[in-house]
């Protein structure tokens, strides 16, 4: 990494950052955890709204990507969907719908001072796509995202080609009272979720932090309803896939990019969670380069 900082060098850190975590109460819905990562110095460009996927939380972004972006002048806000991370709602896990998650994202989006670039991972990418044409966004980044047609194709292929992954991830979520998805996914986490380059101890730690997923929301994600193409709304979009992703394979992210007429980038090596994997910094560089190229 260069030792000298210049305004055009998106890979060079510009200073420190501050992390602010709060839980915001809502009148008729569970309180949500919001993790804001802010540059200590001057800010540049639009803020980023970071949406995690199934089993996750805002902590997934706070581990690497949020600080990486903030050190380069980019402010971000990560939200934990209800029943995830530090948000409330776990007692109602079985009743949570996909639209509930969309409402959570809308709530977080409205906390920002200006329209953000929305970054969605996996199921979070599907939630972001459901907001195309329905919310104010400057841009969209889909990371290992479910495709516009939803989880069904991913579910079927994973069941056929990676039955252990499918049993751990999807059936584990269907019976959260019997066995938490976190415990199930801890077994073999290194080969199932992350690249071969990630230290096994880190893979196990990350997997153990994951939480059971809402079965109703996952079922609805199989057929999420019509998704508007970002191309039709002239929404700048970047799609990022991972070479070693065993859940959302590269051909799937390529298809998503085609649907939205978006730029596609591939991370290698990387598994399904690139923001936690050895590819975290590379992911940050690709996002920053794209933001600069789009003037966002």
Give every CB contact of residue 57 below 8 A, 6+ residues apart in sequence.
33, 80, 81, 84, 85, 86, 87, 209, 211
> How far is residue 194's CA from residue 60's CA, in Å, rounded to a whole number?
13
3-class SS at 66? helix
Give every CB contact of residue 29 below 8 A, 6+ residues apart in sequence.
82, 89, 100, 103, 104, 107
How far is CA 39 from each of CA 8, 16, 19, 61, rounded to the nearest angstrom? 17, 6, 9, 15
CA-wise closest residue to 131 among 112, 107, 152, 151 = 107
Read off the tokens for 220: 């609805």
3-class SS at 31? coil
Q: Please state the φ and ψ torsions of residue 284, each to the nearest 5 degrees.
A: -60, -40
**Per-residue pLDDT at 6:** 29
**Per-residue pLDDT at 154:** 85
**Per-residue pLDDT at 160:** 82
pTM of the model: 0.90
Read off the tokens for 174: 């269907």
Q: Would you give per-residue pLDDT tens digits along the chain (296 residues)?
A: 332 222 333 445 556 999 999 999 999 999 999 999 999 999 999 999 999 999 999 999 999 999 999 999 999 999 999 999 999 999 999 999 999 999 999 999 999 999 999 999 999 999 999 999 999 999 999 999 999 999 998 888 877 877 766 766 665 554 444 444 445 445 554 457 889 899 988 988 888 888 889 989 999 999 999 999 999 999 999 999 999 998 899 999 999 999 999 999 999 999 999 999 999 999 999 999 999 999 99
């Amino acid at each position: 990494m260069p030792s000298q900082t210049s305004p055009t060098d998106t890979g060079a850190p510009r200073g420190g950052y501050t992390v602010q975590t709060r839980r915001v109460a809502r009148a008729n819905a569970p309180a949500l955890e919001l993790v804001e990562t802010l540059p200590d110095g001057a800010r540049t460009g639009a803020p980023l709204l970071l949406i995690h996927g199934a089993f996750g939380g805002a902590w997934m972004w706070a581990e690497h990507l949020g600080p990486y972006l903030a050190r380069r002048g980019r402010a971000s806000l990560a939200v934990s969907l209800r029943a995830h991370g530090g948000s409330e709602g776990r007692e109602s896990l079985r009743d949570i719908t996909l639209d509930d998650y969309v409402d959570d994202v809308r709530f977080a989006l409205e906390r920002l001072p200006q329209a953000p670039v929305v970054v969605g991972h996996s199921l979070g990418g599907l939630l972001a796509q459901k907001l195309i044409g329905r919310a104010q966004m400057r841009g969209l980044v889909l990371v290992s995202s479910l495709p516009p047609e939803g989880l069904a194709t991913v579910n079927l292929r994973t069941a056929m080609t990676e039955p252990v992954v499918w049993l751990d991830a999807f059936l584990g979520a269907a019976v959260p009272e019997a066995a938490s998805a976190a415990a199930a996914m801890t077994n073999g986490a290194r080969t199932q979720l992350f690249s071969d380059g990630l230290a096994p101890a880190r893979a196990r730690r990350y997997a153990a932090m994951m939480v059971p997923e809402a079965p109703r929301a996952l079922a609805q994600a199989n057929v999420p309803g019509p998704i508007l193409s970002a191309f039709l709304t002239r929404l700048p979009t970047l799609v990022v896939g991972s070479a070693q992703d065993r859940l959302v394979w590269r051909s799937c992210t390529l298809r998503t990019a085609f649907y939205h007429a978006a730029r596609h980038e591939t991370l290698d090596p990387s598994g399904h969670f690139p923001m936690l994997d050895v590819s975290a910094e590379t992911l940050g560089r690709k996002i920053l380069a794209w933001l600069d190229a789009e003037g966002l």
